[in-house]
């Protein structure tokens, strides 16, 4: 990896896909720091979502710009768990982070709903799953990253992600097909 380009990895997907669980383990695999983007939402965003109100793009832009800045200013490699559901959101996250890569965690609506039903203590209501799935724009061919099915174990997801991610600047990358585990 080039000394000039720090590794920045975003673990993305809808609520309940395992962004934090996979992100923490991926950070360990790459000797990187981990940041859960939910922890840096402004209080107003958290309050809004806690009331069952979806965020607007106007709510998200400052938060996304903050995440891009945090990644850019991180002292070393960083993995960030962030929904990053739309291409335009990922474009903001890439600003100033030329080698940023994405791990898109995806799964069936049934599996994701089951995981959300089992989750407690999170401000994001399970009722947002449908709108998140409608909003989701999968990685495009020119976006560096890999798409993985969360039906696999965390160990498999982390191993597959690590195997597919290259150091920034190594090669131009064609979109990879979703890894089959």
Residue range 138-161, pLDDT digits in tens: 999 999 999 999 999 999 999 999
DSSP characters over 81-114: E----SHHHHHHHHTT-TT-EEEEEE--HHHHHH
Average pLDDT over residues 154-169: 83
Q: Do residues 138 and 147 touch, judged by C-beta distance below 8 A?
A: yes
- Secondary structure in 3-state letters for 109-137: HHHHHHHHHHCCCCCCCHHHHHHHHHHCC
Dihedral sign of CA atoms 6, 175, 38, 66 in order:
positive
> What pLDDT score does 116 carry?
75
pTM: 0.82
User: pLDDT-derived band of residue 173, with 50, 70 and 90 as boundaries?
Assistant: very low
Taking a C-beta distance cutoff of 8 angstroms, is the pair 135, 85 a contact? yes
């Amino acid at each position: 990896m080039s000394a000039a380009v720090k590794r920045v990895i975003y673990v993305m997907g809808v609520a309940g896909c395992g962004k934090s669980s996979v992100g923490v383990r991926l950070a360990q695999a790459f000797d990187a720091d981990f940041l859960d983007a939910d922890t840096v939402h402004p209080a107003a965003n958290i309050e809004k979502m806690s009331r069952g109100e979806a965020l607007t793009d106007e709510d998200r832009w400052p938060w996304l710009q903050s995440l891009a800045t945090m990644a850019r200013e991180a002292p070393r490699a960083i993995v960030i768990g962030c929904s990053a559901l739309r291409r335009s959101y990922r474009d903001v996250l890439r600003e100033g982070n030329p080698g940023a890569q994405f791990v898109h965690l995806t799964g069936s609506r049934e599996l994701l709903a089951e995981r959300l039903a089992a989750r407690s203590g999170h401000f994001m209501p399970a009722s947002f799953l449908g709108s998140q799935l409608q909003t989701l724009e999968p990685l495009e061919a020119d976006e560096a990253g890999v798409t993985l099915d969360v039906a696999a174990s965390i160990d498999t997801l982390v191993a597959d992600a690590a195997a597919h991610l290259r150091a920034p600047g190594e090669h131009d990358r064609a979109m990879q097909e979703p890894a089959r585990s």
